[in-house]
Amino acid sequence: MARKIAIKRLTASDLTFFTHHFRTLNAGNQKSINLNAEVFVDALFPGLSAYTPGTEANLPITLRIHGPGLSDEYSLRRKIIKNASYKNWRLNGELIYDPDSEPTRFHDLQPGDLAILEFVGDERAPHTVRMSLLARANRHDQPLHTAINRLLEGRSRHSMVAISTMALEEAVTNSSADVAHPLYGFALEEALEDAALGGIGGARRLRGIRSAAAVTAADLREARESAERIGALGEELLDRYFEELALRGEIEEYSWESQRNAISPFDFVVKANGVEERIDAKSTNGQFDRPVHISMNELETICDPSVVYRIYRLYELTGSSFRMRKSVDLRSAMQGVHNLLGQLPRGVKVDGIAVDPKGLEFEDAIAFAVDDRED
Burial of 127-149, coded b for 16+ CB within 10 Å and e otherwise, reads bbbbbbbbbbebebbbbbbebbb
Percent of the chain with pLDDT over 70: 93
**Residue 150 binned pLDDT confidence (cut-offs 50, 70, 90):** confident
**Does the structure show a pLDDT above 70 at 23?**
yes
Domain with CATH 2.40.330.30 in the chain: 4-187
* pTM metric for this prediction: 0.64
Q: Are 167 and 149 in contact (CB under 8 A)?
A: no
What is the per-residue pLDDT for 208? 62
Q: Where in the chain is the domain with CATH 3.40.1350?
A: 226-369
For residues 151 and 164, the answer to whether their CB atoms sit within 8 Å is no
308-315 and 321-326 strand pairing: antiparallel
Angle subtended at Cα 113 by Cα 107 and Cα 116, rounded to the nearest 5 degrees: 105
Please list the helix, strand and coil fractions of the chain in percent, rounded to the nearest 5, in that order.
35, 25, 40
pLDDT digits (tens, 9 = 90+) for 195-253: 778 787 777 777 665 444 456 666 677 778 888 888 999 999 999 999 999 999 999 99
Give the CATH architecture of domain 4-187: Beta Barrel (2.40)
Which tens digit of pLDDT belongs to each residue from 252-277?
A: 999 999 999 999 999 999 999 999 99
CA distances from 349 to 297, 302, 344 (A): 12, 18, 7
For the chain, the average pLDDT equals: 87
Length of the chain measured in residues: 375
Window from 51-60, 86-95, 187-196 with minimum mean pLDDT: 187-196
Give pLDDT tens digits for 43-62.
899 888 888 777 888 999 99
Instruction: With a cut of 60, say whether residue 38 has pLDDT above it.
Output: yes
Which fold does the domain 226-369 belong to in CATH? Trna Endonuclease; Chain: A, domain 1 (3.40.1350)
Nearest alpha carbon to residue 68 among 161, 167, 173, 148:
148
